[in-house]
Amino acid sequence: MIEIAGISKQFGVKEVLREVNATVQEGEIFAIIGPSGSGKSTLLRIINLLEQPTGGRVLFDGTDIHAAADQSLALRRSMGMVFQKPVVFSTTVFENVAAGLRIRGMSKAAIRERVEAVLEVIGLADRAEQGARTLSGGEMQRVAIARVLVTDPALLLMDEPTANLDPLSTETIEDLIRTINREYGTTLLIATHDLLQGQRLADRMGVMIDGTFAQVGLPHEIFSAPRTRGVARFVGMENIIRGRISACEQGLATVDAGGRQVMAPTPLLVGESVSLCIRPEDVTLFLPGTEAGSARNVFGGTVQAIKALGPFRHVGVECGFSLAALATWKAVEELGLHAGSEVQVAFKASAVHVVRDEER
Amino acid sequence: MNEIIQAFFQAIELIITLDPSVMEITLRSLIISFSATLIATVIAIPLGFLIQIHEFYGKKMVINLVQTLYALPTVIVGLFVFVFISRAGPFGFLRLLFTPTAMIIAQTILILPIMTGLTISALTGVDPTIRDTIRSLGANTRQYLGLLVREARFAIIAAIMLGFSRAISEVGAAIMIGGNTQTSAFWTSTRVLTTAISLETSMGNIEFSMALGIILLSIALVVNLVMMRVQQR
C-alpha cells in the first residue's frame, strides 16, 4: 500500500533521513521505533505531505505522492495524522470531530450521524457539546484520533500518540488503536520511541537509527536477532562485546574477545569483526572451583559492582571484557558476592547473538 | 478642594441630564473612532495575514518596523496627514483639512501598525501543531485561513479593541487635523471628546471637561470589559 523508496531529507546541512526504504502492507500496523531525534516524525510528515523529501519517492497505491501536485489535496484527504502533542480547536468536542468532514463539504445530517458514531467509539458521546479545551490530555488525544477516524482514512499516521500521556491514558489509546485496526481495517503507521509499545501494537516494525531503517521485521525477529549493534543496543541487549572470529566449524564460531575465546553460532566467516550480544538474564554466576553446568562459555572474573534492580541484582563482572549478569537477590546473597569477589560467569553458546560490525 | 468636588457633581449632572453639547461631542467621537477602527480592521487584518503566512526576504525587518510604529506619536501622524491635505499639499484640492473625514484618515493611519502587528502576533500565537492539523485534515488554502482565523479569533478581537481605544483617546492628530471646530452642523464640526477636554480645561470649564473625561473613561472601561468577556470564553 505504501512504498517508501530511498527517501532522504535534509534541513539545511542537517541530514535527517537517508535512504529510507520500507513497504507497508494494507491492513497492518507498522511501527517505526527508534530513539528520539532519529527522524521518525519527519518520515511521517513526508508521507502526510507536510514536508517535501530531498530525495526518493513515496508511493501510495502506486502513485508518487510528491509528484502528483494536482492530487495532493485528495491524497491528503485519504489519510489522517495524529500528532504527538494533543491539540484541539478552540470549539466544542463535536465541532472538533466534525472539522475534517466540514472541510470535505459533507451534508449536515451526514456529519451529525458520523460524528456521533465516532464519539461513541472514543467514549466521549456524552460530552459532545463541551469545550474541547477543557478536556484532559488523554481525552484531547482521543478527540484528535476521532477527528481523523471520522474521515475514514485508508491510512492512519500516528506520531508518538502517547508520548505526552500518563500510563492509564496510554492504555486507552492503545486499545483504541487496536480497535481501529480490527474494526475498520485501517492501515496504521505509528512512530514511537517506546519499544514495548511497538511490540504490543505492531504486526511489523522498523527500527530507525540515525535517519534510516537499521532493521525491518517482525517484532520477535528484532528482539531476538538484531542485525546491527545499534539495534541490539536499542532493544536492550546490554552486553555488546567486540571481537573477531578466529575459527569456525559447522556454524559454531570461536570469537576472540578481550583475550577470551567465546563460542557462538554464526554463519559469518573467519576474520570478520563482530559484536557479541548477550542478554544479562542469560548469564549465570558461580563461585570459583564449583561446577558451572553445561554452558560452553565459562570464564573467571571479578565482580565490579552490584546494583539493585527491583527483585533482581545487576552484577557487573570484569572477565577480559565487561559483562553484566542479572540474578535474583537471593542467589547473589547465597553466593556471598560483593564488589571485588572472584566469580565464574557462564552462558550458553546459543545465548550469544552475533552481529557483524557495521563499516561506519 | 471644594471647587473640585463641586465641579465633579456638576459634571455628573451634565451627563445625567443628557446635556446636548456633551452628547453631541460624545456621539461624534464614537462615530469617528468607530469608522477609523472599521477601516483599519479591513486593511490591517488581511495585511497581518499576508505578512504572517508568507516567507519573504526582510520579513523580520517588516515586523520589527510595524512593532516600532506601535508607539507612533500622534502629532507625527497629524503632521504627516496635514502636509498631504493642507491647501498646498497634493490632496489639498479635496478640502479635507478640519473635517471629520480627515480625522478618520489620521486615526486610521495611527492605529494601523498596532492592529497589523497584533494580528501577526495573534496568528503566530496559534500552536504549530494546530496549523499542521488543519493542513493534515485536507483543508484548501481558503479553508486553512478560515480555520486559522477561528483559532486566533480572541486575539484578533483584542487587536481591534486596542486599536479603537487608541483612536478614541488620542488628541494630537485630532486637534491638528480636526482643529476642534464648532459649527452649526453636526457633520462639519470636528470637536471630539479629547480635543474638547483640552480646550474647555484651558478655558476654565472644569465641570464640562470632567463630564467628557468621565465619559471617555467609561468608554475605555466598557471596551475593556467586553474584551475580558471575549477572552474568558
CB B129 to CB A50 under 8 A? no
By C-alpha distance, the chain B residue nearest A149 is B137
pLDDT classification of B3: cutoffs 50, 70, 90 = confident
pLDDT classification of B105: cutoffs 50, 70, 90 = very high
Mean pLDDT of B90-119: 93
Q: What is the pLDDT of residue A30?
A: 96
Query: Could you tell me if residue B194 is inside a domain?
Result: yes
CB A87 to CB B130 under 8 A? yes
What total number of domains does chain A contain? 2
pLDDT classification of B92: cutoffs 50, 70, 90 = confident
pLDDT classification of A178: cutoffs 50, 70, 90 = very high
Query: Could you tell me if residue B16 is inside a domain?
Result: no
Q: What is the pLDDT of residue A359?
A: 54
Percent of chain B at pLDDT > 70 equals: 100
Q: Which helix (H) or strand (E) holds A69?
A: none
Q: Can you give the C-alpha Rg of chain A in angstroms?
A: 25
User: Is some CB atom of chain B closer than 8 A to the CB atom of A347?
Assistant: no
Mean pLDDT of A143-154: 92
CATH of the domain at B99: 1.10.3720.10
Residues A182 and A219 in one domain: yes
Yes or no: say if A229 and A318 are a contact pair by the CB < 8 Å rule: no
User: Is some CB atom of chain A closer than 8 A to the CB atom of B188?
Assistant: no
Query: Measured between CB atoms, which of A76, A80, A87 is closest to B129?
Result: A87
pLDDT classification of B233: cutoffs 50, 70, 90 = low
Query: For residue A239, is pLDDT > 50?
Result: yes
Q: What is the pLDDT of residue B183?
A: 84
List, for residues A256-300, the tens digit of each pLDDT value: 988 889 999 988 888 889 999 999 989 999 888 887 778 889 999
Which chain B residues are Cβ-neighbours of A81 within 8 angstroms?
A: 132-133, 136
CB B151 to CB A90 under 8 A? yes
pLDDT classification of A38: cutoffs 50, 70, 90 = confident
Residues A310 and A168 in one domain: no
Q: What is the pLDDT of residue A103?
A: 93
DSSP notation for B127-182: -HHHHHHHHHTT--HHHHHHHHHHHHHHHHHHHHHHHHHHHHH--HHIIIIITT--
- To the nearest whole Å, the CA of B130 is away from the closest chain A CA by 6
Q: What is the pLDDT of residue B35?
A: 96
User: What is the extent of the structural domain holding B103?
Assistant: 59-232
Which chain B residues are Cβ-neighbours of A90 within 8 angstroms?
A: 150-151, 154
CB B136 to CB A76 under 8 A? yes
On the 0-12 / 13-18 / 19+ scale of CB atoms within 10 A, A273 is middle
Residues A210 and A88 in one domain: yes
Distance in angstroms (rounded) separating the CA atoms of residues B121 and B127: 12
Please give the distance of CA A124 from its chain centroid, rounded to a whole number: 30
List, for residues B152-181, the tens digit of each pLDDT value: 998 999 999 999 999 999 999 999 998 888
Q: What is the pLDDT of residue B4?
A: 86
Residues near A28 by beta carbon (within 8 Å), at least 6 away in sequence: A187, A188, A203, A204
Helix B128-136 × helix B141-169 angle, to 10°:
140
Using alpha carbons, list the distances in angstroms from residue A91 to A55, A132, B145, B156, B157.
39, 6, 16, 16, 16
Distance in angstroms (rounded) separating the CA atoms of residues B202 and B209: 10
Average pLDDT, chain A: 90
ipTM over 0.85: no
Q: What is the DSSP letter of A269?
A: P
CB A73 to CB B133 under 8 A? no
Query: For residue B78, is pLDDT > 90?
Result: yes
pLDDT classification of A358: cutoffs 50, 70, 90 = confident
Q: What is the pLDDT of residue A339?
A: 86
Mean pLDDT of A317-327: 91
List, for residues A77-107, the tens digit of each pLDDT value: 999 999 999 999 999 999 999 999 999 999 9
User: Is some CB atom of chain B closer than 8 A to the CB atom of A148?
Assistant: yes
Mean pLDDT of B123-151: 92
Percent of chain B at pLDDT > 90 equals: 68
List, for residues A63-72, the tens digit of each pLDDT value: 899 887 788 8
How many residues appear in chain A? 360
The identity of residue A35, as a single letter, is: P
Starting at the edge strand found earlier in the chain, the sheet holding A260-265 runs A260-265, A252-257, A239-249, A273-278, A352-356
Distance in angstroms (rounded) separating the CA atoms of residues B90 and A246: 95
CB A147 to CB B150 under 8 A? no
What total number of domains does chain B contain? 1
Mean pLDDT of A329-340: 86
User: Is some CB atom of chain A closer than 8 A to the CB atom of B140?
Assistant: yes
Which chain A residues are Cβ-neighbours of B231 within 8 angstroms?
A: none
CATH of the domain at A340: 2.40.50.100
- To the nearest whole Å, the CA of B116 is away from the closest chain A CA by 23
pLDDT classification of A360: cutoffs 50, 70, 90 = very low
Query: Measured between CB atoms, which of A45, A80, A87 is closest to B127?
Result: A87
Residues A275 and A212 in one domain: no
**Can you read off the three cell numbers belonging to residue A255?**
570469537
Query: For residue A128, is pLDDT > 50?
Result: yes
CATH of the domain at A161: 3.40.50.300
User: What is the extent of the structural domain holding A253?
Assistant: 237-356
Residues A214 and A248 in one domain: no
Q: What is the pLDDT of residue A110?
A: 93
| CB neighbourhood size of B134 (10 A) | 23
Query: Could you tell me if residue B123 is inside a domain?
Result: yes
Query: Measured between CB atoms, which of B136, B150, B154 is closest to A81?
Result: B136
Residues A203 and A308 in one domain: no
Determine which of B135, B137, B140, B147 to mutate to test the interface with A (most A C-beta atoms within 10 Å).
B137
